Amino acid sequence: MATYRAYNLGGVNTFVNPLIKNNSDLIRAVNVDSEPFGAKSKRTGYITYLGTADNSQVNTLFDWTKNDGTTQYLYRASGTKLYYSTQGTGAWTVCGNGTITSGGHVAHAVLNNTLMIADGVGSTRYTTTGTSFTNGTLAPVATSLAQYQNRIYAAGTSSTLFYSTTSDATNWNTSGTSDSSSLDIPGAGKLSKIFTVADRLVATKNSGLMYRWDGYSLVDTATRLGPSSPYSVAESEGYYMWVNRLGHFGYGGNKPQLLSNAVQKQFYNNSGSGVVGTTFNTMPATVHRYDYLATLGTVTDDFTGETINNAILKYSFQKNQYLNWQFANVPTAYHSYVDTSGNQQLIFGDSTGQCYKLSGTATTDNGNAIESVMEFVIHLDQPDINKKWNRFTGFFNPGCQAQVQIAMGDTYVASRKKWTDLGDVKTGVVQYKFPLGSRSKLLFLKIYEASKNVGFNFYGYAIDADFEPLR
């Protein structure tokens, strides 16, 4: 008899040859977290955050803390208005001169206690109060803004990159003592997201081209792997991440690196059931603590054959693991920020105009049950040998309401899986004998939970089996 033990559970991995797949890696993981390390737990839920302000889709969320270190404003762009909330607790209030392009996204940057905003169509504006904006004189219409070398840089609507006078976000004059100027970014496409990394300003174009600017010279990074959506760009520890049609990429200042090999089938696959092409253009994302989150839409991994509706890509930069989340309300904009109490908060908005806050005490998605699923394929490192499956041992937290299911087969065809319930795991440590006649080359193991009142921790499992002689 052989016993296989898995007590260091990994992330989702469906890219490798399934016959050499690590039995600890998941082929499916929805609405779970990798906590504690090496284990899995049900993700936390969320609650509503402030009011709806209007019934229009939330396209942008951001915050600004003034130089006094205590005055904080949270902003949302939805419909034709930019709103603010004082300290993130006051009601949404329309900003003075806060009319924006209908359905527009709002870029922002801060220089010398002055907040600049732009929506790519209307006037670029600034505020020192946080509540009312003034149109910038000579400031260019911009799609993206960044602070670099004590200037505000503005990505124009075509291929011109502008910058303000040193130390003055409101001065865009190019004569006299003012030293504002501009430069053209060559190559196909128009300017998209601009950001700073490794003491360089990075200018991306919607064709995937990327350039680095140090204030004196422009360097072509010789890549077309830039972000397809400027709203998918997010940063952790000075390392930027984004999504394009070839996957999820990371960037530290040299060349973009493909991170998402393990889940490439969610981006594109032979069945054409990955991310819908148009979704790549406007995909929102953020980094919360060390997790990159991006709204993928509905995807079907062609290895598992399982569809995830309203899928969210979750990548742990800390653990280098991929999972999937699925919210009852589809995020159209995210924002992670430190509130006035010093707590890191994740908020997001949806198409109805409501915002929500992830909450460590919430066990539902604003009243909706959180359906958590984990699935493994187990072959005991010998997928060509028939096994008689004998016993499952699982380790959970006592009192949880998860269920264990199994399916046996000799192929990876999803439609041939016949799931059988082994039982619940409320005692914490469980042992279940497999039904008589449990024989196959492969064993599929599923952990499922959809309660509204509790979470669960899954620490690992052991499988006992006999290898049957070849005939």
Residue 90: the pLDDT is 95
Residue 342: the pLDDT is 93
Distance between CA atoms of residues 469 and 370, nearest Å: 44
**Shortest CA distance to 106 belongs to which of 98, 421, 114, 374?**
98
- Is the domain spanning 53-276 CATH 2.130.10.10? The answer is yes
Give the confidence band of 303 by pLDDT, cuts at 50, 70, 90: confident
Average confidence score pLDDT of the chain: 94
Distance between CA atoms of residues 453 and 223, nearest Å: 49
**Shortest CA distance to 165 belongs to which of 217, 155, 65, 154?**
154
Q: What is the mean pLDDT of residues 214-240?
A: 96
Distance between CA atoms of residues 164 and 202, nearest Å: 17
Residue 1: the pLDDT is 73
Q: What is the mean pLDDT of residues 365-393?
A: 93
Residue 470: the pLDDT is 65
Distance between CA atoms of residues 9 and 24, nearest Å: 5
Specify the CATH number of the domain 2-43+372-467.
2.60.120.260
Distance between CA atoms of residues 335 and 288, nearest Å: 8
Residue 196 structure tokens: 């700073």
Give the confidence band of 255 by pLDDT, cuts at 50, 70, 90: very high
Would the pLDDT of 20 be above 70? Answer: no
Angle, alpha carbons 266-271-275 (nearest 5°): 35
Q: What is the mean pLDDT of residues 2-18?
A: 87
DSSP collapsed to 3 states, the chain: CEEEEECCCCCECCCCCHHHCCCCCECEEECEECCCCCCEEECCEEEEECCCCCCCCEEEEEEEECCCCCCEEEEEEECCEEEEEECCCCCCEEEEEEECCCCCCCEEEEECCEEEEECCCCCCEEECCCCECEECCCCCCCCEEEEECCEEEEECCCCEEEECCCCCCCCCCCCCCCCCEEEECCCCCCEEEEEEECCEEEEEECCCCEEEECCCCEEECCCCCCCCCHHHCEEECCEEEEEECCEEEEECCCCCEECCHHHHHHHCCCCCCCCCCCHHHHCCEEEECCEEEEEEEEEECCCCCCEEEEEEEEEECCCCEEEEEECCCCCCEEEEEECCCCCEEEEEECCCCCEEEEECCCCCECCECCCEEEEEEECCCCCCCCEEEEEEEEEECCCCCCEEEEEEECCCCHHHCCCEEEEECCCCEEEEECCCCCEECEEEEEEEECCCCCCCEEEEEEEEEEECCCC
Higher pLDDT: 431 or 436? It is: 431
Give the confidence band of 302 by pLDDT, cuts at 50, 70, 90: confident
Domain ranges in the chain are 2-43+372-467, 53-276
Would the pLDDT of 128 be above 70? Answer: yes
Q: What is the mean pLDDT of residues 192-200?
A: 97
Q: What is the mean pLDDT of residues 102-118?
A: 97
Would the pLDDT of 462 be above 80? Answer: yes
- pTM value? 0.95
Place of tokens 């990955």: 274
Residue 72: the pLDDT is 97
Query: With contact defined as beta carbons under 8 Å apart, do 463 and 3 qualify?
Result: yes
Distance between CA atoms of residues 353 and 178, nearest Å: 42
Q: What is the mean pLDDT of residues 160-187?
A: 96
Least confident interval from 316-325, 336-345, 379-388, 395-404: 379-388
